Amino acid sequence: MTEDFLHYAWRYQHFNSNHLQTTQGQNLTILAIGEHNRHAGPDFLNARLRIEDTYWAGNVEVHLKASDWLLHRHEKDPAYANVILHVVLDEDQAIYDPNGERIPCLELRRLLDPNLCSAYYRMLNNNLWVPCQNHWQEVKTLSVKLWLERVMVERLEAKTELVKRFLDFNQGDWEEVCYQLLLRNFGLSVNLDPCEQVARSLPLKLIGRHRDNLLQIEALLFGQAGLLEPDFVEKYPQQLQGEYRFLRQKYGLEPMAASNWKFLRMRPANFPTMRLAQFAVLLYQGSNLFSKILAAQDVEELANLFSVTLHGYWSEHYTFDKPSTRKLKHLGSSFIELLILNACIPLIFYYGMYTQDSKYCDKALRFLQELPPEANHIIDGWKKLGFEPEDAGQTQALIHLKRMYCDQRQCLHCAVGAAILK
């Protein structure tokens, strides 16, 4: 038995509530279970009860054993002074409030439905890819979609934590935040951190002084990335190296170690050299990216902001001093969709939260639904269960559902899991 299960049983009143009595034999009527509290303090706030002929309003605390009250030191916490009912599996000890009055206790062990308990144990302890996958199809499609909409927002809110961290670090400079967030995501999952390190070491305002010179922008990015240290054979990397040495001395820059970058088992198109060269062109092509992202009216307009093609040296190289077949290299549609999904949409959504302007939050959610569904191993797993996502909003929700609910066995906090148990 888990405390989470008792929370669930109390929240949905999944126990025999006929002729309830406290452990002291007092008649108990539940008028309102209270509001589930996910923060510090009692588990359910503003509950209403009748014990014998007295009406009570206050909070409810849930534990497996009554003695957990003392184990958690609630007797020393003023937040628990207004607990009017202690709900437990077993009352192994009487608990008293600060005034010396015994706190009424409801013991659930004999009131719980054995079938419900068995179903919960089976769901909690199986080794299936999704704990409830054998019953997934039993839940109404509308219920699943409504839950996914809520989980989609949860996923987006979780992603905005990074935007908040960047905004705090940059003291409210949104353009700098946008630049750092985009460069971080140019690294994909493998080189996220090195890209972020380059962005933090190379302020956008400094790059802005050289905005009209692509060679210097590249030199700054590659130099700070630690990729201009070798003795090059070809003329172009030698030029970059010379530019960076001058700019490094001018601005007092310190490059990172080249060993931070990962090239192995990567497609050449995703090499960090490719992504840094493309990001340099993006900065060269225009300024005020954050303002343009905010102003975009649809995903197509957003995607056009990232229309980048490499010419010259990079049309016949994927990395320095190693020629390849000549080819114009541009940001592919799938890569741009990832940028929009992981950088632009969280940025727009958090800006709406920060400014308390719901139109930006609504726009971010709309953009999620305009993007096509993602393709990855988690989504493949859901498809095998018969769920075909309609857009990126649903795939983001399914990823969050799998990682944060299914893998963590948080079935009681999931509307689908709760519906199956019910």
Is 91:70 a contact under the CB 8 Å cutoff?
no
pLDDT score, position 342: 96
CA 202 distance to own-chain centroid? 27
The per-residue pLDDT for 123 is: 84
Q: Residue 119 CB: number of other CB atoms within 10 A? A: 16
| pLDDT tens, position by position, 52-108 | 999 999 999 999 999 999 999 999 899 999 999 999 999 999 999 888 899 999 999
Is residue 5 within 8 Å of 108, Cβ to Cβ?
no
Give me the percent of the chain exceeding a pLDDT of 90. Answer: 82
Judged against a pLDDT cut of 90, whether residue 396 lies above it is answered with yes
pTM, two decimal places? 0.84
What's the rounded Cα separation, in Å, for the pair 136 and 117? 19
Of 273 and 118, more confident: 273
Task: Grade residue 264 by pLDDT with cuts at 50, 70 and 90.
Answer: confident
Closest CA to 330 of 282, 401, 295: 282
d(CA 290, CA 347): 9
User: What local confidence, expressed as pLDDT, does residue 360 receive?
Assistant: 97
pLDDT at 251: 97
Q: Name the band, by pLDDT with cuts 50, 70 and 90, for residue 134.
A: confident
Is residue 147 packed enough to be buried (19+ CB in 10 Å), middle (13-18) or exposed (0-12)? buried
Q: CA–CA separation, 201 vs 220, rounded Å?
A: 10
Inter-CA distances, 32 with 153, 231, 385, Å? 28, 75, 38
- pLDDT tens for 151-160 read 999 999 999 9
Residue 36, beta-bridge partner list: 44
pLDDT at residue 67 in the model: 95
Q: What is the pLDDT of residues 278-301, one digit of tens each?
A: 999 999 998 899 999 999 999 999
Mean pLDDT along residues 148-168:
96
Q: What integer is the mean pLDDT of 269-286?
A: 95
- Greatest CA separation found in the chain? 92
Lowest-pLDDT range of 113-122, 224-233, 370-379, 380-389: 113-122
Confidence band, pLDDT 50/70/90 cuts, at residue 419: confident
Spatial distance between the Cα atoms of 187 and 363, rounded to a whole number of angstroms: 26
DSSP 26-64: -BEEEEE--EE--SSS-SEEEEEEEETTEEEEEEEEEEE
H/E element, 319? strand 317-319
Q: How confident is the model at residue 130 (pLDDT cuts 50, 70, 90)?
A: very high
User: Which pLDDT belongs to residue 138?
Assistant: 86
- Which long-range contacts link 237-243 to residues 24+ away (Cβ below 8 Å)? 237/320, 237/321, 239/215, 240/215, 243/215, 243/216, 243/219
Tell me the two tokens of residue 6.
Answer: 């008792």
Give the separation between CA 121 and CA 181, rounded to whole angstroms: 43
| Count of other CB atoms within 10 angstroms of residue 53 | 6
The confidence score (pLDDT) of residue 233 equals 96
Confidence of residue 124 (pLDDT cuts 50, 70, 90): confident
Give the pLDDT confidence of 186-235 residue by residue, as tens digits.
999 999 999 999 999 999 999 999 999 999 999 999 999 999 999 999 99
Please give the pLDDT value at position 33: 95
pLDDT at residue number 286: 85
The strand pairing partners of 63, in sequence order, are 88
Strands 35-36 and 105-107: unpaired
Across the range 328-349, mean pLDDT stands at 94
CA quadruple 214, 216, 221, 224: dihedral, nearest 10: 180
